[in-house]
Amino acid sequence: MTKTDEPEAAQAQIDARVRRDIDQHGWHLVLVPAEEPGPGWAHTLGLLETFEHPEVIVFGIDLQVLAALLNHLGEAVRLGRQFEAGRDEEGLIEGRVLTFRDVAPKWRTPFLGNAAWHYQREDFGVLQCFWPDPGGAFPWQPEADPEWKGDQPLLYEPGTQAALSEALIDSLRREGAL
């Protein structure tokens, strides 16, 4: 194998793992570690093709917590639950209400580029799952804890300044995603 074949072989292994997870579980999880000062995030890949349900992305918290949450949401979708933008959901995690918003098309590639690669298109449905701060406020509410606001960008907003914190804007610019 030549050096130029190595990236192709690595990509083929990743593609095979994604396909295996989707075939076995109905979805694959993509985990993106936090890169200070920006938050980490995780999203599903396969809910659309398996269950005709939008993919789900969630930010902040610990990656293992995000993975557990997304797997829990995936299981709920497998059992027939449909999450919708603008609807609060109780009973998904103890003591917390979650809510969902549609992700603006502008943010699909920067945050779900591998899903765009998988689907070979950028016009797939994505819901962002939001979790409240300890006081029960969501990041767009004025009473939300400022420390928690930066952990959850508002990807339903098409404008960069309205959607992202300065730290996340800087991080995405360094990566060449903006």
pLDDT in tens, the chain (178 residues): 445 566 777 777 877 888 898 999 999 999 999 877 778 899 999 999 999 999 999 998 789 999 999 999 999 999 999 999 999 998 887 778 999 999 999 999 899 988 888 888 888 999 999 999 888 999 999 999 887 877 899 999 999 999 998 888 888 888 888 8
CB 87 within 8 A of CB 100: yes
Total domains in the fold of the chain: 1
Provide the strand spans (E) within the chain.
Answer: 28-32, 41-45, 55-59, 88-93, 96-102, 126-130
Domain residues for 107? 5-175
Supply the pTM of this predicted model.
0.91
